[in-house]
Amino acid sequence: MNSLKITLVSLLLVLPLAGQAQERLRMATTTSTENSGLLAELNPVFEAQYDAVVDVIAVGTGKALKLGENGDVDIVFVHAPQAEQKFVEAGYGVDRTAVMHNDFVIIGPAEDPAGVKQTDTAAEALATIRETRATFVSRGDDSGTHKKEMQLWDKVGIEPAGDWYLAIGQGMGAVLQVAEDRQAYALTDRGTYIAYKDKIELEIASEGDKALYNPYHIIAVNPVKHSHVKYDLATDYIDFVTSEEGQRIIKDYRMQGQQLFYPDAMPGI
């Protein structure tokens, strides 16, 4: 066999093995994280370094944590601190680590029919929307955004219900589109709002309240609960996203010239 044939045979033997060596990391994350486009920047860098593929399942935080609880994913990347802590305390998650933050905003029509821009806090803004029966679109899906919304309603002792309140049970992008169509108010993370800003005319009506702080954490699914999960690869991803390289990608990520997220693992970079 000449050298050319030997080389071709060697390639045929090596290529399938290389494909088989590529591991897959199953990640459940929020629709807000996915809609922002950040993972499209982070994941290819991780995949190249670790010869892996990240399979992203974008759902609400509640559903993401349920996928982790059932062992259907290896890692969760979410933004609902109280629910995350319960997930870890119940033994389903380990190595919970702060990654980044942004904030929530309340958006609405430019003419602001409810007078939200005159209020001082996010909870007061929601109370004003309820008093005026202005249309409000809620995710209604047990996501991190929905959990934050319900906390704000609870602050003013209101259980939202009625024709003015639309709980659509869908992701953040769908909420923004419905709110735009109805010229309604909605609570959204700032990142998704920026990502959709060229598709809608709704404006920020309430922002800056400390209650609107929105931290994101990453959690590996506990291999003691589910022995089949890829814990080592999950910890590799945690190490990457909290490393200087990962944190700098988060810090430098822009959409329409605006920074969407702020690093928390290395806030000083």
On whether residue 110 sits in a domain, the answer given is yes
Cβ contacts of 227 within 8 Å, gap of 6 or more: none
Same domain for 47 and 175, yes or no, is no
Residue 87 sits at the vertex; the CA angle it makes with 55 and 229, to the nearest 5 degrees, is 40
Residue 83 domain boundaries: 10-102+215-263
The pLDDT tens digits of the residues spanning 47-82 come to: 999 999 999 999 999 999 999 999 999 999 999 999
Same domain for 239 and 256, yes or no, is yes
**What 3 state SS string does 34-102 have?**
HHHCCHHHHHHHHHHHHCEEEEEEEECHHHHHHHHHCCCCCEEEECCHHHHHHHHHCCCEEEEEEEEEE
Cβ contacts of 21 within 8 Å, gap of 6 or more: 51
Same domain for 186 and 250, yes or no, is no
Contact 263, 80 (CB under 8 A): no
* Spatial distance between the Cα atoms of 154 and 64, rounded to a whole number of angstroms: 24
pLDDT, position 32: 86
Q: How many domains does the chain have?
A: 2
List beta partners, residue 108. 203
Compute CA 155 distance to the chain's CA centroid, rounded to the nearest angstrom: 24
pLDDT, position 188: 97
Residue 51 sits at the vertex; the CA angle it makes with 45 and 55, to the nearest 5 degrees, is 75
Contact 52, 22 (CB under 8 A): yes
Same domain for 15 and 110, yes or no, is no
List the pLDDT tens digit at each of the 269 positions of the chain: 454 444 444 444 444 444 456 899 999 999 888 888 999 999 999 999 999 999 999 999 999 999 999 999 999 999 999 999 999 999 999 999 999 999 999 999 999 999 999 999 999 999 999 999 999 999 999 999 999 999 999 999 999 999 999 999 999 999 999 999 999 999 999 989 998 999 999 999 999 999 999 999 999 999 999 999 999 999 999 999 999 999 999 999 998 899 999 999 999 88
On whether residue 240 sits in a domain, the answer given is yes
The CATH number of whichever domain residue 47 belongs to comes to 3.40.190.10
Cβ contacts of 20 within 8 Å, gap of 6 or more: none
